[in-house]
Structure 1
Amino acid sequence: MSAPLRLVIFDVDGTLVDSQADIVASMTAAFEGASLPVPPREVILSIVGLSLPEAVAQLAPGAEAGMRAAMVDAYKSRYMELRAAAGAEISSPLYPHVLGVLNQLHDEPETLLAIATGKSRRGLDKLVDGHGIRHLFVTQQCADDHPSKPHPAMLQAALSATGVEPRHAVMIGDTSFDMEMARAAGILAIGVTWGYHDAARLSDAHMLIDDIRLLPGLLQQVWGQIA
C-alpha cells in the first residue's frame, strides 16, 4: 500500500529567503514619501508576512486610506527598483542549505511542496524564477488571491489544489502569523528561528527548528506518528 500524499507548505520571506534589507529600505521609502516618522527596523520586520496593505495599516494606523494606498505604491516601486538593480538572487538570497533541503523533499515521491506567502504574485514570480525554484512547488498561494495571514484561506486553497488532508500537511514559517494561520487551518505548525520573529513570538508553533537541515528528519518523525 502506497503512502498518502504529504504537503509541506513554506512561507517565503524570513523562511526561504532573507529579504530584510530590501523590505526595510522599501518601507523606509514609503514612510519618507509620506513625511511620516520611519518605524525602527525591528518594528518593520515584525509585520513581515502580512499582506502589504495590512502591514502598512499596522505600521501607520493614523494615516488616512489614501495616504496608506500611496505608501503601498511607494513601497512596491522601491522594492522593484532594488530587485531590478541587484537581481533576485542577491536582493533576496536563499538562506543557507534551503535549496538542498527543497530538492531533497521534492525528490520524495509522496511529498508535495507548496508556498503560502504575503508577497504579491508578481513579486513571488520574480523570486521563484530568479532562483530557478518554480518547478519545486505544485501550488503557490499569495496575497493577491487571499485575505492576509493569519486567515487560513491560503492553506485551505493549497489543500484543495492538492487533495491532501489537513492531517497530512505542515506549514513551515518564521512568524506568528504563519503559526496562527496553520492552526486555523487545522494543520501542523513548524516554526523556524532564523527569520523575523524570535522564538518567543512563535508560541503557536507545534514545534521549532533552528536549522533547516533538520526538517526532513523531523518530517519523517511527524509522518510516522500519523501513519
Structure 2
Amino acid sequence: MKNRFDLIIFDWDGTLIDSIDWIATCLQKAGEVCQCGIPDYQAAKDVIGLSIHKAMQALFPGQDDAMIERLVACYSREYFSKTISPEDLFPGVYEMLGQLRSEGFQLAVATGKTRAGLDEALAHTGTGHLFEVTRCADETASKPDPRMLHEIMAHVGVDKSRTLMIGDSIHDLQMAQNAQIASIGLSCGAHAEDFLQQYSPLCCLQQPTQLLDIIDNG
C-alpha cells in the first residue's frame, strides 16, 4: 500500500486523539445546562464529526436558532475548560505521524472541530508541524459533504486516486465515499466496526498505529 497513496488525511477526534468520551460528556452537559434534556451517551457519540451546529441540531431537534447558539456556547465553555496535552494522543500517534512523513507521505487533517478548537489541540499536542494542511467545519462544509477533502487535495496537488482518508466515525467514511477516495476505519472512537463497514473502507483497525503495518505490508 506504500506505493498506492501520496496523501493521508486524518480525522482528529477519536482518530489521532482519545477525546470521544470528553466530547460526549460536554454535549450532554450542554443539554443539561440549557434545560433541553440530557442526550443518550451513544447519541452524543453519534454526532461527533459533524460541525458543532449540525451536531446540536441532530441532538436537540426542534430547537430554534437562538437555543442552538446557546447550546453551542455552553458546549464550547465546557470543552475548553480542559487543557489538552500530548498525553491525550493515542499511544504512538506522534511517532507514527513522524514516520509517515519521513517515508514521504503528505499528511492532512479534516475535522468537524472549529478552527479555534483544532488550533488549540495542535498547539498543545505539538503536532501542527506534521501536517501540510488542515480543514475545519467552520471554514468549509460539514461532513459528510466532501468539500473539505476536495480543498485539501487541491491545496497539496494530489489526485483522489492517490489519497487515503482515516477516520473513526461514519461521517468520516461517508465523506470519503462522497469524495470517491479510499478510506480506512478505526474502531477506537465514535463508531464500532460494523457501522464503519457500511461505507466500504479498505479495512478497519482497532488503533491508529496499526496503520503503519498496513502501509508497509498491505
TM value normalised by structure 2: 0.92
What does residue range 134-153 of structure 1 map to in structure 2 within 5 Å?
Answer: 134-153=128-147
Residue of structure 1 equivalent to 2:79: 79
Residue of structure 1 equivalent to 2:88: 93
Residue of structure 2 equivalent to 1:41: 41
Any conservation in 1 of the 2:27–2:75 contact (CA below 8 Å)?
Answer: yes
For residue 171 of structure 1, give the secondary structure of its aligned residue in structure 2: strand
User: Structure 1: which 5+ runs fail to align?
Assistant: 223-227
Within the candidate set 114, 119, 129, 2:113 is matched to 119
Q: Deviations over 1:182-205 (max 9, x none)?
A: 011111011011111011111202
Code of the residue aligned with 1:175 in structure 2: it is S
Residue of structure 2 equivalent to 1:225: none
Q: Is 1:207–2:166 an aligned residue pair?
A: no
Within the candidate set 151, 155, 158, 1:157 is matched to 151
Rate the CA distance shift 1:160–1:144 in 2: closer, same or farther, 3 A: same
Q: Deviations over 1:24-56 (max 9, x none)?
A: 332122112221210121111111100000000
Any conservation in 2 of the 1:5–1:112 contact (CA below 8 Å)?
Answer: no
- CA RMSD of superposed structures (Å): 1.7
- Deviation for aligned residue 1:5: 7.2
Within the candidate set 85, 98, 106, 1:103 is matched to 98
Rate the CA distance shift 1:122–1:35 in 2: closer, same or farther, 3 A: same
Q: Distance in 2 between matches of 1:211 and 1:16?
A: 9
User: Structure 2: which 5+ runs fail to align?
Assistant: none
- Deviation for aligned residue 1:165: 0.7
Which stretch of structure 1 is more off in the superposition, 148-157 or 62-71? 62-71
Code of the residue aligned with 1:64 in structure 2: it is D
Question: How many residues matched?
Answer: 214
TM value normalised by structure 1: 0.89
For residue 144 of structure 1, give the secondary structure of its aligned residue in structure 2: coil
Q: Distance in 2 between matches of 1:174 and 1:131?
A: 19
Any conservation in 1 of the 2:20–2:189 contact (CA below 8 Å)?
Answer: no
Any conservation in 1 of the 2:144–2:171 contact (CA below 8 Å)?
Answer: yes
- Deviation for aligned residue 1:64: 1.6
Q: Is 1:176–2:170 an aligned residue pair?
A: yes
Residue of structure 2 equivalent to 1:7: 7
